[in-house]
Each structure stands twice: as C-alpha cells, then as structure tokens.
Amino acid sequence: MEFWFSRASNSATRAVSLSGQGDAQGAAAKAFLDPENRRLFLYVYNLPPPPPGRTYQLWLIVGGAPISMGTFGVEPDGRGRLDTASIPQFEGEVTVAVTVEPSGGVPQPTGPMVLVGS
C-alpha cells in the first residue's frame, strides 16, 4: 500500500475511510482522492467475494449524484484495490461507496451498498 499511497500523496489528496454495511460489516476500505491528478485509489479489506454473476462497483457521490468509478473484484482473503483515472472536479464533501452490481457494472447504483464513507 505504501507504494500506491506515495503516488497519491500530495497536499490536495483526501483520505476517506469506508466502513462495511449490511452483510459486509466486517469489511473496511480506504480511498485516496487526488483531485490534482484526477485519480482515486481504493484499498479494500475483509470484503467477501461477490455472488456469482455480480461484481463490486465503486461510486463517487458528489452533490447527491453517483458517478461510477469502475468495477473490481476481491482476492479470496477479501483484499482488493482499484486505481481510477478521470475523477470529476469537485469541491466540498464527497461520499465514496461500493455496491454489489451485475457483472460489467451499471450506469446508476441498483444493488446493496457494502462500503461507504464521507
């Protein structure tokens, strides 16, 4: 994690802790938002694999509007990561969330939220 974090560490980088929700209460994640380089790094821990035919999808919620940041899976031990590019410009508070969605992802969240943080 140190290598990836060092790439995202500048004065504008924001760290957001995400906590597990529902059936994933034992899960946790850390997101690093780097608005200067328009990147988001997500590190997930203790998240069970999604059901067959489903995937995890990352959302950046700005002003109440969810924006898909991509899909990802997890290792058998529940670890996963996602490095995204092209996050939108934003000011103020944002929420980072992960939902369970059909494989390939969806344009708007439809499944249960398993991780969330602001």
pLDDT number for residue 10 = 60
Does 2 have pLDDT greater than 80?
no
**Assigned token pair, 62:** 């700005």
The whole-chain average pLDDT of the chain stands at 90
Cα atoms in the Cβ-side hemisphere of radius 13 Å centred on 91: 0
pLDDT tens sequence across 51-85: 999 999 999 999 899 999 999 999 999 999 999 98
Asked if residue 113 lies in contact with residue 19, where contact means CB atoms within 8 angstroms, the answer is no
pLDDT number for residue 88 = 82
User: What CA–CA distance (Å, rounded) separates 30 from 35?
Assistant: 16
Percent of the chain having pLDDT more than 70? 91
DSSP string, 45-114: ESPPPPPTTEEEEEEEEETTEEEEEEEE---TTS-EEEEEE-PPP--S-EEEEEEEEETT--SS--S-EE
Sheet containing 14-20, strands listed edge to edge, beginning at the edge strand earlier in sequence: 65-72, 54-62, 94-102, 113-117, 14-20, 28-34, 39-45, 80-85
pLDDT band with cut points at 50, 70 and 90 for residue 9: low
Pairwise pLDDT comparison (22 vs 2), residue with the higher score? 22
Fold of 13-117: Immunoglobulin-like (2.60.40)
Asked whether the whole model's pTM tops 0.75, one would answer yes
Task: Report domain extents, the chain.
Answer: 13-117
